[in-house]
Every structure is written in structure tokens, then in C-alpha cells.
Structure 1
């Protein structure tokens, strides 16, 4: 238990401008009063000095938002050799005591104090190539959303006003290029001039986003090759999937087992039986981006890998449905990819 391994647990409630710290001893008693420090570099140094001054023996810092508001403080403490764990926000029932920064910091400390050591969540690595991958994946999600929005708007315009294009199906790359090159026609009325110009602008926006997505993927590939080139040798794992695997897994020892990795990815089987029907479904929580990455690999292998095709045929003869087979495959692939990652040091 954490209470048996650490003399003190420091709870940290993180915000954009300030961090609030509360210290508990290993018995759960408060040590001193809550302290609030600004998130400026000098303020974070003062917070670190307060922890060193107020505690003796092994210290665990329980912090929310280690990848956002608390990222700099987490890096500072980790570099100083202080163990940091990420905590979850308190559940609604715990809010009966009210909500202030000191109360939230104390909740974080008490939550960590009661955990078994193996349940501590080690913050992700967000330095160097890991940081670059995290930023590029976040940017990619925004680019894809903007690309889809522009595509939908252009499709709606072309379907609503004709322009002589067959747009009953999804727009092709060639059609988008044609629309992007449109100029005003002499026979267009005032309304059509505006509509044609807007369609051309949306088409150019789509082409621009496509170029940015291509550059983004090249950047992901560069950092993946620097960290874990062996992932690219796996069937169905390209630059984007490999980048998400690296970011979610982060580093050796962060996730304690392949079962924990499957749970983290939302792929752990959960009993969903009733009466004479025995079946399982997948856990719906976890890192949904990681879940999507494993699904992409599963989908590719399901349709393009000979060994997987033989397995699918075998399971089909046993009476399994395609959905049940895909669930088993996702679990198997998650186990395999975790072992690939954890057997290498990145």
C-alpha cells in the first residue's frame, strides 16, 4: 500500500495560474496548512522547496492534470527524483465536503494514500520525441475535423446548386481540384457568383488541409522512427497508429501488465451473459484514441492478413459472429502490441 511505502503524500490541485498543495502523513493526518503557489517558474521552485522543507522520508506527489496544467510542475519534481502519480477527479459523492482548491488537493492525496502500489498511475512522458508526437496527434485531430467540416459544406453547396457536377456520391479528389480552380462565369447572376466563389474557397480549404495532413503524417513518421521503428514492422501499424501507441503507452513500467493495457485501451472483456446465452462485450472506458488505433490494426489484419483470415475462418466455423471475432482479435492484438512495446526501451 502507498501508506506503507511513503512517509508523506502531497495532494496538488492544479490550475492555470496557481497550484494548491496539501500534505498528509502516512496515517492520513494533515501536516501543516494548505499552500498555494503561482505557476510561474519561481513559484514552482517555491512549491518544490516547500515540499522538501515540510517532509522527511519518501514522498509521493498526487497530482491532477499532469499532462496539462500540472505538466511543468510534474517535470520539475520528476527531475528532482520525487515520485509523482496522476489522480482522477473526486467522484460526486465525495463532494459533500464542498469544493475549494485545498479540499480538492486533500481529496487527491487521500485517494492516492489508499491505493495499492501497483495501482499508481505514472504520468506520461511528455518530453523530446514523445512531446512532439503528442502535439502532432492533437494537431491531426483538429485538422481532420476541419477537413471533414469543409468537405461536408462543399458537398452541401454542390448538391444544392448543381453546377453540372455529379455529386450523388462522395466528392472525388479530381472533383475537388476542379472546383478549386473555378472562377466567376459571365452568365452567373449575383447569387451564383457568391455561391461559386464560396465553393471554390471551400475546395481550396480542403486541398490545404490535405497537404497539412500529409505533412503531419511525415512528422509523425520521423518521430516514430526515432523512438520505436520496430512498430512499423507490425501488420496494420503505420505512422499514425504507431504514434498513438507510443503516446498512450509512454514508457516501460508505466502500465503494469498486458491486461492493464487492454483495460486502458477499452478492450478488456466484460461478461454480458443472460440465461442460456454466454457472451462478452468490451469495456467502454479507457483511452478512446488508443482504442481507435488498435481497431485500425484489427480492421487491416481482418481484411488483408492471411494468418488472421485463417483464424477468422476457423472461428466462423465454430459459430462466432464477425463482431465477436473482431473483439477477440482486438484483445489479442492489444496483448501482442503491449509485449512488443514493453520488450523494448524507448
Structure 2
């Protein structure tokens, strides 16, 4: 097992913020090299930070930073383009915080955290460029749109259930009911209160229709970029544009996730023993990337109900005495393994 300290001459810790980044350099033995330096996050400031790294170090260099997908994204891309290896570090644990918290302390912690790792445990940042960037932005926008759509739907349902209007709203609103409400106008016999309530209901309905149109356009955008990057994913049962987009964004590129077992744990699907006595049971890991977990669950749900091969497997395992939840957990683990191999054995197009 090769350690980071054996592979790199220096490790640079970076504490990232919106306005400044603070850098601390350690040699391969853990000794501090020089003093901490702080640079603005403007393009010239990031160039100066890169020049400082090149000036202060010799030999192979590893840069360890938090927030490679947010505050540190531009610096990460700049260093990666220059051929510098970048790894993402996790925030310090509570016990480490007892030593104090300043930007130089956090930067040094990032460097020491990476220095103590085996090479295979380094976290490679996600791809932030081109189609990958477009997918990331579209998925973030989709989550916000769905939240807004759900909120509008709940508000409209509450209005209609509270004031009637002659619609049967005992169950969830249908698309046709929303269209009817969106076309409402004030009635002659409405009092001042009902005029306002009817107008607000119509506004909420139009908001729902608008969000639905935006979600449809969003899915078309996702499909466009998925086809450009990994069209083969769409050939998999239960994998559509939204699921494929999340798989690509979470996985990112070959080499980022070292094995299918690591991918399963990253997705929160790795089984955890929960046995007792003669009963052998496993439960799912509840951490990991929950968006990726949801994407794999959607694929599992589709196959569970629509794929003949999966239906035959479910029937077989049911006869063996397995519960539906246990069968679904096994299926999720199998599908995670299969999708990782599909991703890792193909070349993501540029």
C-alpha cells in the first residue's frame, strides 16, 4: 500500500472561502514549509496562488482542499489544467476543532489529513467542465423546480379543500383539474373574499403549469447532454435522462471511484451486517450521495415492476422466504455494481 507521503514531496493544504483561499505547505515528513499565505479568489489572485505553489515546492505536489465543487472549484480547475494533482478533503472532526479554528489551521489540517492517507483513499474531485458542468447545473435547477412545484401544488390543494369551488379534491389534483382552475375568472356572485381566493387559486394553478413546462424543458436539456456524454446509459432498463444525468455527475470520470464496492458505499447501498443469533440480516448504509441513491432506487423500482428477468428473480427469492425490502436491497446492490461497470468500462465522450 503506497502512502501519500511516499508519492509526493509536498502536500499543499487549502482552506477555501468566497473571497480568499489560505494555503499551507507541508513536506513529505509533515514539516511546515514557510508560512501560510492568503490569496484573493479573483483570477489574478488564483494565478498568484498557483505561482506560489510552483515557487515554494519541488518534485511531485499534491493539493488538498475542501469545497472543490463550490468555493474551490475555479482553483481546482486551474491547478488540474496545469497538471497538479488535487484531492478533496473532509472537514475536521469535532475533536480536532479543540485546537482552535483559523484559516491557516484549517489549511494545515487539510494537508495533514491527506498526507496520512494511502494513495487509493484520495478523493478525486468531480469534473466541472463542459457537459458535466451543464448536467450539474440542470440537476440543481431541477431540484429547485420540483420543490417549488410541490409547494404550489400543496397550496392550491389546501385552497380548494378549504373553500370547495365544486371540485372533488379528496385525492391528489389531476392535470385536468389544474388546467380548469388556471382558467378561472371572477364570478358575479362571488363576494370580495371569494374573488380574492378564486384569483389566488388560479394564480397557483398557472404557477404549477409553468413549473411543469420548465421541468419538461429541463429534462430535454438533460437528455441532450447525456446523449453527448454517455448515450449507452439510456439503453439500460430503468435509466432515463434524469437518472443517467445523476449517474454521470456522481461518478464523474474513470478513476475517481476506485471500485464497484466503493461506488456502492458512496451511493449509500453497501450492506451493513445487522444479524443476531441464528438470524442473518443486512441493512443499508444510510449515508453517501443521496441523489445517487435515489437514482439507483428509481432504476430498481422500474425493473422490479417492469423487467421480466427481475420479476423472475423476485419470485425466486420470495419463495426462499426473503421479504420485499430484503429483495430490493439485494437488487439495489446488484444494479449499483452493474451501472458502475457500465460507466467504468466505457469512455465518457468529451
The answer to whether TM tops 0.5 is: yes
Aligned mates of 1:283, 1:24 — CA distance in 2: 35
Spell out, residue by residue over 1:161-220, the C-alpha distance to the aligned partner (whole angstroms, 9 max, x if none). 000000000000000000000000010000000000000000000000000000000000
Give secondary structure in 2 for the equivalent of 1:97: coil
Cα offset for 1:302?
Answer: 0.2
Aligned mates of 1:162, 1:241 — CA distance in 2: 38
Aligned mates of 2:277, 2:106 — CA distance in 1: 44
Give the alignment's TM-score, normalised by structure 1: 1.00
Give secondary structure in 2 for the equivalent of 1:12: strand
Partner residue, 1:226 = 228
Cα offset for 1:275?
Answer: 2.4
Cα offset for 1:273?
Answer: 1.1
Spell out, residue by residue over 1:296-318, the C-alpha distance to the aligned partner (whole angstroms, 9 max, x if none). 00000000000000000000011
Cα offset for 1:277?
Answer: 1.8
Aligned mates of 2:314, 2:161 — CA distance in 1: 41
Aligned mates of 2:258, 2:217 — CA distance in 1: 35
Cα offset for 1:274?
Answer: 1.8
Give the alignment's TM-score, normalised by structure 2: 0.98
Aligned mates of 2:175, 2:121 — CA distance in 1: 49
Aligned mates of 1:310, 1:255 — CA distance in 2: 32
Partner residue, 1:213 = 215
Aligned mates of 2:198, 2:280 — CA distance in 1: 58
Supply the RMSD in Å over aligned alpha carbons: 0.5
> Mean Cα displacement is larger for which, 246-255 or 270-279?
270-279
Give secondary structure in 2 for the equivalent of 1:163: coil
Partner residue, 1:295 = 297
Give secondary structure in 1 for the equivalent of 2:26: strand
- Given candidates 130, 133, 149, the residue that maps to 1:131 is 133
Cα offset for 1:145?
Answer: 0.1
Spell out, residue by residue over 1:121-155, the C-alpha distance to the aligned partner (whole angstroms, 9 max, x if none). 00000100000000000000000000000000000
Aligned mates of 1:274, 1:207 — CA distance in 2: 52
Give secondary structure in 2 for the equivalent of 1:150: helix
Partner residue, 2:323 = 321
Give ranges in structure 2 of 5+ residues lacking alignment.
Answer: none
| Superposed structure 1 runs of 4+ greater than 2 Å apart | none
Query: Is structure 2 residue 153 aligned with structure 1 residue 167?
Result: no
Give secondary structure in 2 for the equivalent of 1:183: coil
Cα offset for 1:276?
Answer: 2.5
Give secondary structure in 2 for the equivalent of 1:212: helix
- Matched length: 346
